[in-house]
Amino acid sequence: MSAVDFGVLKLIPEMLKEMQELKDEVIELRQHIKPKYDLTKRAGVMKYLNISDSTITKYLKEGTFREGYHFYRELKQSKSTITFVSGAIEEFKKEKEK
């Protein structure tokens, strides 16, 4: 009978962490290739960041989302339309997760 080295079991948590990081990278790459969310629109940003509409309003009001970087404001007739910058929103999510 051969001896079993149970020391390798210590590697499992490390391997699990690596697998999770790879999974996150795949999700991010899929978002770039075929976007699941329209990150230029408020609804897409809400789903992507998993936050509520009131949180977006708070981020806009308090300056967490910076105008000219995270979003642009367009005036159409008397209505103000906000268009988010997808790259800046993706970067925001990465920074938030750190």
Indicate the pLDDT class of residue 20, thresholds 50, 70 and 90.
very high
Residue pLDDT, tens place only, 42-81: 999 999 999 999 999 999 999 999 999 999 999 888 888 9
Give me the CATH code for the 35-97 domain, please.
1.10.1660
Answering whether pTM is above 0.85, one says no
H or E stretch covering 93: helix 86-97
Cα angle: 42, vertex 81, 66; to 5 degrees:
65
Which residue, chain included where needed, has tokens 């999770």?
Answer: 20
Give the dihedral of Cα atoms 25, 31, 33, 38; nearest 10 deg: -170
Portion of the chain with pLDDT greater than 70, in percent: 97
| C-alpha to C-alpha distance for 21 and 73, rounded to whole angstroms | 35
